[in-house]
Chains A and B, each alone.
Chain A
Amino acid sequence: MNLDIIFNLILLGIIIGTIYSLIAMGLSLIWGVSRIINVAHGEFIVIGAYVTYYMFNTFHGDPSLYLIPSGLVVGLIGVIIQLLLYNRIVGRDHLTSLVLAFGVSIVLSGSMYILFTGNLRVVNSFYSEKSILIGSATVRWGAIYGFFIALILILLVFLLLEKTDIGRAIRAIAQDKDAAILMGINPQRIYLIAMFISAFLAGVSGNIVAVLYSFDPGVGESSYLGISFVITVLAGLGSIKGLILAGIFILTAQNFTSVYAQGLETAMGFLIMILFILFKPTGLFGKLLE
């Protein structure tokens, strides 16, 4: 293997890995704050992709115009699901919330098959059709677009969590709910806000995914949920730094796997996760999972 190839694999690992960090961020946030493993996260992403797809086909223009709308639509759906369902089971054991979230996931993907059919969709634009050369690597503009959007959003979430009262309250609930209540923080309100942020991020990720890849209602589960889970575990709950490093690490590892042992990329991701669960269950930087 020559140096050029290694460079390309790492470069793509960084670019796509950062996008996947954003994809995983919403899952990680809800897990840390509400202790719910929202396995419907993949469907949230795909709904965002459909919003972008239909708006693009209706209004045309640049797909980036539909970034915020995709986030808002999915954010709203997340809020409704939180109010109707998840708020009733926060604080219960993981099994209860997992079963409920599985139900949500199945209903959402089923509804999408009915509404949008199972045909593969693509958003054909400048982003998917044109590439630039970085060194010897050909990188599609969609990846560059997704990389910068992901960086900006991750930074915004970081600032929100670190520098604002709402962000402090979200972290407080994640660390010690009883103490947070003592500060006058209303947990239900924080769960709702965290869910909006999580679903918004999923919707925005959906826009990026739509610009980059083809999709159907099933890819939420097959392509995005599993890897979000892997990245979240690897990062450790409650660490944004961990999320970025884990995203880049996993995607780079998968890139190398695709060269040496094509077809085993997904297995590689899970293998790394299992190793972490066995030997470092708190992840790279996590504090919340003991």
Chain B
Amino acid sequence: MLKISNLQVKYGKIQVIWGLDLEIPKGSVVGLLGPNGAGKTSTFASIAGLVSPFEGSILYNEVEVTNLNPAKRVELGISLVPEGRKLFPDMSVKDNLLLGSYQKRAKSKRKESLNRVLTLFPILEERLNQQARTLSGGQQQMLAIGRGLMSDPSLLILDEPSLGLAPIIVDDIFNAFKRINEEGVTILISEQHVHRVLEIIDKGYVIEQGRIALSGNAKELEGNKHIREAYLGI
């Protein structure tokens, strides 16, 4: 579904992604794992069109999207739930969700999408008219995921969704990812909590200093010596 080849990203003169290759099969859950500053967010920003790589190509369903603007990519079905959520804090929960379905294709399925999100996260239904800033951290993350789903994506990208959340809430959110995936949405997720994410991914890539250090399925990664030492602490 998504194929990245030789991605290279610079901020000014500083290069942070050095020839990254990554492939996401349709219907799968793929993890991008790595330490702080490795380049996970930069990779996601390139896929969503927020930064333009100076080299490399991104194919989405066989379509070259490398130079499309973010709006076109949303329309094609790519949805990014950004690091730190980036909600609209002074808007209601409902307005946040509706903004997720701003694009034409999503707008026509707005009712269905809203139902889907509220079924997935019933707590949001009780809070529809509250300002987003008044939600707890977990609820805010649910809202960010829900807003991402409102665009009716076929690829949902989640950038460190468990950041700063209590373990019980992380369980809820990871369960939601499983359900979203069962509904046919392909997922790309980045995490620092490697052991959590290994439970849900079909395949994982480890990114270090802007390069893919290794990749494999969950079993292979779990058994890998480097992963065990650097990420799992065992």
Contact = CB atoms under 8 A, between A and B. Distances in A.
Contacts of B95: 168, 171
Interface in B25-72: 48, 50, 69-71
B91 A183 contact: no
Given A168-B98, A169-B99, A172-B99, A182 B50 contact: yes
Contacts of A176: 86, 88
A175 interface: yes
B102 A185 contact: yes
B197 interface: no
B80 interface: yes
Interface string B72-88: 00110000101000111
B90 interface: yes
A6 to B, nearest CB: 37
A165 B102 contact: yes
B88 A179 contact: yes
Which has the most chain A C-beta neighbours within 10 Å: B69, B80, B91, B99? B99
Contacts of B90: 175, 238, 287
20 contacts: A165-B98, A165-B102, A172-B88, A172-B91, A172-B99, A175-B89, A175-B90, A176-B86, A179-B86, A180-B88, A180-B99, A182-B70, A183-B147, A184-B75, A184-B102, A184-B151, A185-B71, A186-B69, A186-B71, A238-B90
B100 interface: yes
Nearest to A189: B71
B103 interface: yes
B102 A183 contact: yes
Nearest to A239: B90
B88 A171 contact: yes
A129 interface: no
Interface in A13-51: none
A231 to B, nearest CB: 21
A180 B86 CA distance: 9
A172 to B, nearest CB: 5
A267 interface: no
A181 B88 contact: no
Contacts of A4: none
B82 A179 contact: yes
A178 interface: yes
Interface of A: 165, 168-169, 171-172, 175-176, 178-186, 238, 287
Contacts of B48: 182
B193 interface: no
Nearest to A173: B88
A182 B91 contact: no
A224 B98 CA distance: 37
Nearest to B69: A186
A179 B50 contact: no
A114 B86 CA distance: 50
A208 B102 CA distance: 36
Per CB-CB distance, the 4 closest pairs between chain A and chain B, nearest first, are: A184-B74, A179-B86, A184-B71, A184-B103
Nearest to B82: A182
Given A184-B71, A184-B103, 19 more contacts: A165-B102, A165-B107, A168-B95, A168-B99, A171-B88, A171-B91, A172-B91, A175-B89, A180-B99, A181-B50, A181-B70, A182-B86, A183-B74, A184-B70, A184-B75, A184-B102, A185-B99, A186-B69, A287-B90
Interface in B195-212: none
A169 B50 CA distance: 18
A238 B107 CA distance: 26
B100 A183 contact: yes
B71 A179 contact: no
Interface string B151-170: 10000000000000000000
Contacts of B100: 183
A193 to B, nearest CB: 14
Nearest to A166: B102
A208 B228 CA distance: 74
Which has the most chain B C-beta neighbours within 10 Å: A171, A175, A176, A183? A183
Nearest to B107: A165
A5 to B, nearest CB: 41
Which has the most chain B C-beta neighbours within 10 Å: A169, A171, A175, A179? A179
Contacts of A238: 90
